[in-house]
A and B are shown apart, each in its own frame.
Chain A
């Protein structure tokens, strides 16, 4: 029964919209948020431990892994390539404007190539996959959780960490570098097209000028750092999906939080990874 007494109603209206919270309430709410975050992080660590244990012990779920490689890799390819292409065009136009202004137009191909392979290609791939795959995994596993399908898998004596989580996380880790290559390639091609439309420049000239002075350390570490992005996207999406509670609303929340958290952690991880790459591959 709903309590409609004056005291109860007064309690619900103690802080009016727009009125600042009392200091003690703000401190309590801040402490609550920190506790909640630490609990979430602890649960995520425990979840990761279960997944690692399941992933390294037989039986291995190769069939499901191949299915996920297709689902996460092949089906993300058009989107990633399109995002890479759009980024290449924008970079090309922006770099042309800036470098011409500062009299460094001859550096244009190198600026485009280095921007794409060092940072733009990997981070665009990470964010696009966070959106497409993170939401997909989060919603799929959350839906399975609320309809007891994950319990049914466990009741059938199949380890859901192995079948559902390990396969998806591993597929994300393996596919991200390959998708990054696709984003890099389409970005470079469209960057060249954008240049060639303004002034004649062959693709060979563009690439040889762009890659002049570049070596594998410019290419491999930024490409392989996306394996960490894959781990983050797969882990967070599986975790948010498999801990869902509360019906259709819970499924929606899991999908949203999977995208938001995985995108956020991809960006944060990128800050650390760029610094590490600069230290170890100067």
Chain B
């Protein structure tokens, strides 16, 4: 884990010296008069998984959207491998996004493309040197990894929510990112599918060694897949640490949250 002083002092050398893959410092974000994030600071190292927990509407998904640049912060900085992404133009941000995979809460698969075409989409745009058969093999292997090898030709509307998440996960991983952002990977799934997704995320972390931020309501899932947990309330990080540290906390909100989870 990296201290905030370290993050602020050594941003440029972060990638080279093994510094944090993601460093968020004093991040503020409002929508109109509604304050969503109120000075959040977090850091995630390479190969590390941080689970962000909290009640609905506390800005967990907004935090992920800020990290990947889909929203602009009001103030504060976000550094990806030491590079501050604030104010980057779309194409420059695109270069950074090639190293990031994002699983949307509802998978956000392209509904006019088949499962195979969905996963191949980033490859077609960024790996033009790959032949069609190489692309097909890569997509097939990745879909096999997430247990979807038999559904290449299906349309997203023809598969279940859990299957869509698996395909979304394969699409997030297809460019071999070193940062993975997962928005509610188990939301709306039955317990067996949730456990399967958790196992899948763990397997992928072991094999691909990515830095991950997982936003979830599911404490069991967070405990299973994360190295550290951060609990958000009213736009602030209430507590950050291991599951045991959360359990040992005297904070009233933390105790209330754990009691109802």
- A residues near B (Cβ < 8 Å) are 50, 54, 57, 59, 143-144, 147-149, 151-159, 161
Contacts and interface: CB of A to CB of B under 8 A. Distances in A.
Interface string B95-111: 10110101010101111
Contacts of A144: 110
A75 to B, nearest CB: 15
B94 A159 contact: yes
Q: Which 3 A-B pairs have the closest CB atoms?
A: A157-B97, A148-B108, A157-B94
Contacts of A159: 90-91, 94
Given A149-B109, A155-B97, A156-B122, 7 more contacts: A59-B125, A151-B70, A152-B171, A154-B97, A155-B104, A156-B171, A157-B97
A159 B90 CA distance: 7
A149 B97 contact: no
B121 interface: yes
B126 interface: yes
Contacts of B109: 149, 152
A57 B70 CA distance: 21
Interface string B32-73: 000000000000000000000000000000000100111000
Contacts of A161: 90
Interface of B: 65, 68-70, 90-91, 94-95, 97-98, 100, 102, 104, 106, 108-111, 121-122, 125-126, 171, 175
A156 B70 contact: no
Contacts of B91: 57, 159
Contacts of B104: 148, 151-152, 155
A79 B68 CA distance: 43
Contact of B125 (A50, A152, A158): A158
Contacts of B171: 152, 156
A149 B110 contact: yes
B121 A156 contact: yes
A155 B90 CA distance: 11
28 contacts: A50-B90, A54-B90, A59-B125, A147-B111, A148-B106, A148-B108, A149-B108, A149-B109, A149-B111, A151-B70, A151-B104, A152-B108, A152-B110, A152-B171, A154-B69, A155-B70, A155-B97, A155-B102, A156-B97, A156-B171, A157-B94, A157-B97, A157-B125, A157-B126, A158-B121, A158-B122, A159-B91, A159-B94
Contacts of B68: 155
B106 A156 contact: no
B117 to A, nearest CB: 12
Nearest to B113: A149
B180 to A, nearest CB: 12
Contact of B102 (A54, A59, A149, A152): A152
Given A156-B121, A156-B122, A156-B125, A151 B95 contact: no
A158 B91 CA distance: 8
A256 B32 CA distance: 27
A92 B94 CA distance: 56
Contacts of A151: 65, 70, 104, 108
Contacts of A147: 106, 108, 111
A145 B90 CA distance: 17
A57 B69 CA distance: 21
A154 B95 CA distance: 11
Contacts of A155: 68, 70, 97, 100, 102, 104
A147 B70 CA distance: 14
A144 to B, nearest CB: 8
A59 B171 CA distance: 21
